[in-house]
Amino acid sequence: MDIKLVPTICPYCGCGCGLNYVVKDEKIVGVEPWKRHPLNEGKLCPKGNFSHEFIHRDDRLTTPLIKKDGKFVPATWDEAISLIASKFTEMKAKYGPETMACFASARSTNEENFVMQKFARVAIGTPNIDHCARLCHGTSVAGLAKTLGSGAMTNTITDIKDSKLVFIIGSNTLEDHPLVGRSVIRAKESGAKIIVCDPRFNMTAKQADIYVPFKSGTDVALFNAMMYTILSEGLENKEFIKNRTKGFDALKEEVMKCPPEWAEPITGVPADTIRKIARMYATSGASSILFAMGITQHATGTDNVVSVSNLALICGMIGRPGVGINPLRGQNNVQGACDMGCLPNVVSGYQAVINDELRKKYAGLWNVADLPNKVGLTIVETMNAADEGKVKGLYIMGENPMVSDPNVNHVKHALEKLEFLVVQDIFLTETAELASVVLPAAAGPEKQGTYTSTERRVQLLRPAVKPPGQAKADWEIICSIAKKMGVKGFDFNSAKEIFQEVAKVTPQYAGMSYERLEKPEALHWPCPAADHAGTPILHVPKFSHPDGLGILFGVPFKPPAEVPDAEYPLVLTTGRLLYHYHTGSMSRRSHTLDAEVPTGFLEINPEDAAKLGVKDGAKVKVKTRRGEIEINAKVTPNIIKNHVFVPFHFWECSANKLTIDALDPFAKMPELKVCSCKVEVVPVE
Ligand code: SF4
C-alpha cells in the first residue's frame, strides 16, 4: 500500500495556504499540514482541512453532455468540441463577435484564465470577457488603480502581525479569511489595537478592542468624518502628503464639510467614537487597513475604496512594513484571474485594451491584425444584454451566476434567452443545468498550474490525482475548441508552456518561471526580471502612477441606490460563512462542512423581531422588489437594528433572489451589500 503526500495549494479562499494531500490508491484520503509553507505554517481552517471531500464525489462531471430535447445526453469530446466550434464560428459570422461573451473563473489557474481571455479576444474576437471579481473586488481594482496606480494588497498577510493598529472595515476576516485572521490575532497578541467597523458583531468584531457598528452603505461618510478629525487636529502626515501625493486641496475641501456630528445620524456611529478611532488610526505609528466586500459591493464601491486610500495616504500609512491597504480577495485565484486580463478593459498585467500601442503589442505576439479595441461588457451588463437579445452566445468556465449574481430571477431569464450556452465545471451547477453543452473540468488538486493569492504570491499547484472519467484541465478544453475553430496560437502542450507566454507578455510576471516558483515562498508580483526577488510590499519608494505620486480625491457621500421606505422598511445585507465557499458547489458537497451549516438563515435584531412577531427559528418570508425567499430566522443582537443578514451560499434560500443589480458607475459592481426588504412571518399550517 503506497501512501504519498503531495504539497499543493488549498482550492478554497484567496489566502493561498499550503497543504499536503494524502494520496492512497490514486485517491485523496486526507489532508496533512505543510509546515514549511511560509504563510500558514501547517495551520488550516475547516475548509482547507476538508478540501479533499468534494474531489471524489459520485456527482462529479465525467463526460461532456449535450442537451437534446431538454435533456442532457452524454457525448464524446469530439462531438462536444465539434458542436461548440461550429456553433461559435457560425454565430460569430451570423451575428458578429460582440454578440458573444466569455466568463473566466476565479477558481481556475492563471494559465487557464490567460488562455480564456486569449480565446475571447483572438478566437471569438469579442471584448466581452469578465469573471466574478466583478462581484467582489472590481471596485478595489478600479479605486486603487485610480489612487495608487495598482489595485492589489499593498502588503503581505504575515506583515499584518507587525501593525500597531489593524483597522478592519467590511471584512469578517476571521471567518472569511481565517489565515489572515491569524495574523490579526498575532498583531493583537503583540499589543496592536484592533478596530472593527461592521453592521454585524461578527467573529472578527468579537476580537476587537473597539467595535464600531454602523449602517450598511455609509462608509464614505464615516471616512470623511474620520479625516475631518485628523485634519482639524493636525494629525495628518504633512511630509508624506507633500512629497508623495497630489490632490490634497480637493480632498480637504470635501472632508471639511463632514464633521463627526454630521456623520453621526448618517452612519449611526456616535461623533465621539468617530473622533476616537480617527485619532487612534492616525497616531499608532503603523496602521494597516483590511477590507473586503463590505466596502466593495456597493453602487459607491469605488468611492468607498478611494476613501480608504485617502485615509491611508493623508496619514502616510503606506509603503512600509505594518501599514498599507489590504483588500482581501475572496476566491483562491481571483487575484490571478484579474492579473491575467479576464476583465473587459485590460489584457494581462492591467494593460488597457484602448491603448493602441499595448494592444498592437499583443496582436503582434498573437499573430492577429488587432484585438477588439473597446472595453467589453461586464458580468451584469452581459446578463442585461442577453435579456435584450444583444448577447446570444455565452461560454462560462467555472462560474455559477445562478447563485452568485444579483437579482438571479433576472439572471435565469437572461440565460434562458441565450441561443447557445456552454458551461465548463466540475459539477452540474445551477447554471450548468441551463446550458446547451456542459464540459467536465478537472478540479484544482487534479492539475498543474499556478494560483495568485490575495497577497500577490504566485504559487505552483502540484497534481495529486488524475481527473475523473474524461474530465480535463480547463486550458486543454479551451485550446481544443480554438484549434477546432482553426485558430492559431493555442498549441500548448502543458500549463508550463502557457506560463512562459504569460511571463513574456505580463510585466508583473516577467521574471517568473515554474523553476523559480518551486520553493514554498514562491514570488510576490511585481517580479520584472529573472534575477528580481519579487515585491512583498508595494509603493515603497513611489506609487505606480507615471509620476510616482499617490492621488487624493474629494469624495462626497451618496446614499445607497435603494433606501428603506414604508413598504420595504429594513436593510438587507449579505455575506459569507466560515464553513462555506461562494456558491456552495464545492463546500456543500463536503459532508463535514455541510453538516456544520446545512442551509441558510436570516439574522434579525431582537427589537425588529419583536415588532414583527418573529420568533427565533421561525420560518419567515423575505421580500424585495426583485423576489422573495422563505428562510428560518435567527434572532440575535449581533446584527444592528433595522438590518437583516442572509448568507449567499445557499440556492434554496438564495440571498441573490433579493439583491439589487444597481451598479457602481466606474467598476460596474452590483450593490450586493445593501437593498431594502420586508420580513413577514410564514404562518404555521
Ligand atoms: Fe484554504 Fe483559505 Fe482556509 Fe487557508 S484560510 S485553509 S486558503 S480556505
Pocket of ligand 1 (CB under 6 A): 10, 12-13, 15-17, 40, 44-45, 47-48, 178-179
For residues 136 and 379, which has the higher predicted lDDT (pLDDT)? 379
Q: Measured from the CA of 16, which atom of ligand 1 is nearest?
A: 7
pLDDT mean over 159-169 = 97
Kindly give the distance from the C-alpha atom of residue 32 to the centroid of ligand 1, in angstroms, as a whole number.
13
Instruction: Tell me how far apart the alpha carbons of residues 488 and 496 are, in angstroms, rounded to a whole number.
Output: 19
Query: Is residue 1 scored above 80 in pLDDT?
Result: no
Query: Is residue 342 scored above 80 in pLDDT?
Result: yes
**Could you tell me the CA-to-CA distances from 159 to 38, 156, 187, 261 in Å, in that order?**
12, 5, 9, 35
Kindly give the distance from the C-alpha atom of residue 364 to the centroid of ligand 1, in angstroms, as a whole number.
40
- CA torsion 340-344-345-350 (nearest 10°) is -10
For residue 29, the model assigns a pLDDT of 96
Query: Is residue 136 scored above 80 in pLDDT?
Result: no
The rounded mean pLDDT for the chain is 95
From 45, 50, 107, mutation site for ligand 1 pocket: most ligand atoms within 8 A of C-beta: 45
Confidence of residue 151 (pLDDT cuts 50, 70, 90): confident
Look at ligand 1, atom 3, and give the residue with the nearest C-alpha.
Answer: 45
From 20, 34, 40, 592, mutation site for ligand 1 pocket: most ligand atoms within 8 A of C-beta: 40
Q: What is the DSSP letter of 122?
A: I
667: phi > 0 → left, psi -120 to 50 → alpha, else beta; which? alpha
Query: Is residue 667 scored above 90 in pLDDT?
Result: no
3-state SS record for 483-518: HHCCCCCCCCCCHHHHHHHHHHHCHHHCCCCHHHHC
| 96-105 per-position pLDDT tens digit | 999 999 999 9
| 292-323 per-position pLDDT tens digit | 989 999 999 999 999 999 999 999 999 999 99
Query: Is residue 138 scored above 90 in pLDDT?
Result: no
pLDDT mean over 224-239 = 98
Strand 570-575 vs strand 3-9: parallel, antiparallel, or unpaired? unpaired
| 649-661 per-position pLDDT tens digit | 999 999 999 999 8
Q: Measured from the CA of 581, which atom of ligand 1 is nearest?
A: 8
Interface predicted TM-score (ipTM): 1.00
Q: Measured from the CA of 49, which atom of ligand 1 is nearest?
A: 6
Kindly give the distance from the C-alpha atom of residue 254 to the centroid of ligand 1, in angstroms, as a whole number.
40
Confidence of residue 360 (pLDDT cuts 50, 70, 90): confident
Instruction: Tell me how far apart the alpha carbons of residues 608 and 453 are, in angstroms, rounded to a whole number.
Output: 40
For residue 581, the model assigns a pLDDT of 87
Q: Which amino acid is at 54?
A: F
Instruction: Tell me how far apart the alpha carbons of residues 434 and 423 are, in angstroms, rounded to a whole number.
Output: 9
Q: Write the DSSP assignment of 170-192 as a string of letters.
A: S--HHHHSHHHHHHHHHHHHTT-
pLDDT mean over 217-221 = 97
Kindly give the distance from the C-alpha atom of residue 40 to the centroid of ligand 1, in angstroms, as a whole number.
9
Q: Measured from the CA of 9, which atom of ligand 1 is nearest?
A: 7
| 634-647 per-position pLDDT tens digit | 999 999 999 999 99
R_g over Cα of the chain = 24
Q: Measured from the CA of 39, which atom of ligand 1 is nearest?
A: 4
| 587-613 per-position pLDDT tens digit | 999 999 999 999 999 999 999 999 999
| 22-49 per-position pLDDT tens digit | 999 999 999 999 999 999 999 999 999 9
For residue 405, the model assigns a pLDDT of 87
Q: Measured from the CA of 45, which atom of ligand 1 is nearest?
A: 3
From 9, 17, 184, mutation site for ligand 1 pocket: most ligand atoms within 8 A of C-beta: 17
The percentage of the chain sitting over the pLDDT mark of 70, rounded to a whole number, equals 100
Kindly give the distance from the C-alpha atom of residue 332 to the centroid of ligand 1, in angstroms, as a whole number.
8
pLDDT mean over 324-329 = 94
Kindly give the distance from the C-alpha atom of residue 578 to the centroid of ligand 1, in angstroms, as a whole number.
10
β-sheet bridge partners, residue 9? 18
Cell digits for 668?
460596474
Kindly give the distance from the C-alpha atom of residue 499 to the centroid of ligand 1, in angstroms, as a whole number.
24
For residue 317, the model assigns a pLDDT of 98
Cell digits for 178?
481565517
Kindly give the distance from the C-alpha atom of residue 177 to the centroid of ligand 1, in angstroms, as a whole number.
7
Q: Measured from the CA of 178, which atom of ligand 1 is nearest?
A: 5
Cell digits for 49?
482541512
For residue 2, the model assigns a pLDDT of 85
| 619-636 per-position pLDDT tens digit | 999 999 999 999 999 999
| 55-89 per-position pLDDT tens digit | 999 999 999 999 999 999 999 999 999 999 999 99
Q: Measured from the CA of 19, which atom of ligand 1 is nearest?
A: 6
Q: Which amino acid is at 157?
A: I
Instruction: Tell me how far apart the alpha carbons of residues 612 and 451 are, in angstroms, rounded to a whole number.
Output: 47
Q: How many CB atoms lie within 10 A of CB 665?
A: 12
Pinpoint the alpha helices (H) of 153-300.
173-176, 178-189, 219-232, 238-244, 248-255, 260-267, 271-283, 293-296
Which residue in 226, 223, 217, 181 sits closest to 202, CA to CA? 181
